[in-house]
């Protein structure tokens, strides 16, 4: 067992040294810093865009969504055409699927996209409320929110991948020490906490802290975007109250554990600030309040116009 332990340590150490040699060869003659920055600035968005383009069709296929023909929901298609004429977005495909909760989501961007409704949502909302949800999802597409989300995820994965590659030789060396020592101690199959575990936990804690700050900033941006999207939807429909009613109905009917795919993700945050920080959507009450305030302003403007006549 001692001999096997020495062999294991030698193999892992050799692999780790080999990894260090490869890294040294890569960084021996590094390109100028501006080339590295330009490569990342161009490569990450391009990678995100490729994932975004291919991910759209893959997600639609995974949802097993079917297209809603114009003859099937003519009024919904009529209102869709009216909304897209007012917005900088082409008319997307309208699909129906089982999203496990009455909700809706937008996939793709302003030129090639799709909006997916849950079957239950189509049955539970009025046509005016459906138009509000439709305008909300179109506003997401108009703002290219899906593309931005994909680029952010691609950036996070790239950073984690680079850190893993840089530290992989150290991980191999520490794993060799742990497994070799286990063989020398006569307990090769026994699970034990060693240097690899400690290093992995420390690295996870550091990366988690850095990525948490990045995630918090992104989620704060996403919450602000929801207010912008709600406002845009109310503007193009001229009916903020219908969107507010739709949000309330979706909130009451949704099950929190089954809404992972929804862009229109409505949740009751309660009074916990931690939940609010890590939420991609602002509290429902604030969204409703802003929509109703806009409805009151619209009603006041209509009243003024009637008086002027």
List phi, psi (to 5°) of 308: -70, -30
Strands (E), 93-227: 93-97, 104-108, 113-118
Q: How much is the pLDDT for 262?
A: 40
Whether residue 134 contacts residue 81, with contact meaning beta carbons closer than 8 Å, is answered with no
User: What DSSP state is assigned to residue 187?
Assistant: -
Describe the strand order of the beta sheet including 113-118 as a list of residue ranges: 66-67, 93-97, 113-118, 104-108
Please tell me the pTM assigned to this model. 0.71
Q: How much is the pLDDT for 61?
A: 78
Residue 246, Cβ density class (10 Å: 0-12 exposed, 13-18 middle, ≥19 buried): buried
- What angle separates helix 240-253 from helix 284-308, to the nearest 10 degrees? 160
List phi, psi (to 5°) of 113: -150, 180
Q: How much is the pLDDT for 273?
A: 64
Q: How much is the pLDDT for 274?
A: 61
Block mean pLDDT (10 aa), the chain, length 309: 75 77 71 75 76 73 85 93 93 89 85 88 92 94 85 79 77 75 71 63 73 80 90 92 90 59 44 65 87 83 65
Domain boundaries, the chain: 64-145+221-308
| Whole-number Å distance between alpha carbons of 89 and 81 | 10
Q: How much is the pLDDT for 19?
A: 74
């Amino acid at each position: 067992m001692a001999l096997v332990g020495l062999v294991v340590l030698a193999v892992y150490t050799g692999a780790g040294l080999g990894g260090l040699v490869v890294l040294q060869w890569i960084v021996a003659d590094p390109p100028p810093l501006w080339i590295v920055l330009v490569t990342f600035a161009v490569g990450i968005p391009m990678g995100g865009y490729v994932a975004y383009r291919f991910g759209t069709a893959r997600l639609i296929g995974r949802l097993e969504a079917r297209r809603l023909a114009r003859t099937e929901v003519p009024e919904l298609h009529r209102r869709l055409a009216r909304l897209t004429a007012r917005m900088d977005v082409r008319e997307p495909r309208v699909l129906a699927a089982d999203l496990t909760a009455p909700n809706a989501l937008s996939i793709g961007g302003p030129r090639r996209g799709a909006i997916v409704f849950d079957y239950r949502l189509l049955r539970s909302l009025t046509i005016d409320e459906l138009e509000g949800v439709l305008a909300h999802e179109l506003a997401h597409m108009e703002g290219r929110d899906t593309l931005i989300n994909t680029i952010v995820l691609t950036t996070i994965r790239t950073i984690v991948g680079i850190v893993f590659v840089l530290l992989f030789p150290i991980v191999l060396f520490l794993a060799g020490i742990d497994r070799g020592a286990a063989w020398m101690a006569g307990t090769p199959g026994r699970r034990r906490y060693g240097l690899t575990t400690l290093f992995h936990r420390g690295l996870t804690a550091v990366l988690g802290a850095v990525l948490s700050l990045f995630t918090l900033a992104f989620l704060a941006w996403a919450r602000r975007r929801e207010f912008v999207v709600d406002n845009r939807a109310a503007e193009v429909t001229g009916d903020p109250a219908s969107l507010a009613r739709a949000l309330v109905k979706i909130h009451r009917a949704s099950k929190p554990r089954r809404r992972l795919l929804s862009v229109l993700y409505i949740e009751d945050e309660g009074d916990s600030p931690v939940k609010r920080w890590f939420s991609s959507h602002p509290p429902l009450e604030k969204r409703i309040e802003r929509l109703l305030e806009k409805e009151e302003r619209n009603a006041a403007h209509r009243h003024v116009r009637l008086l002027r006549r």
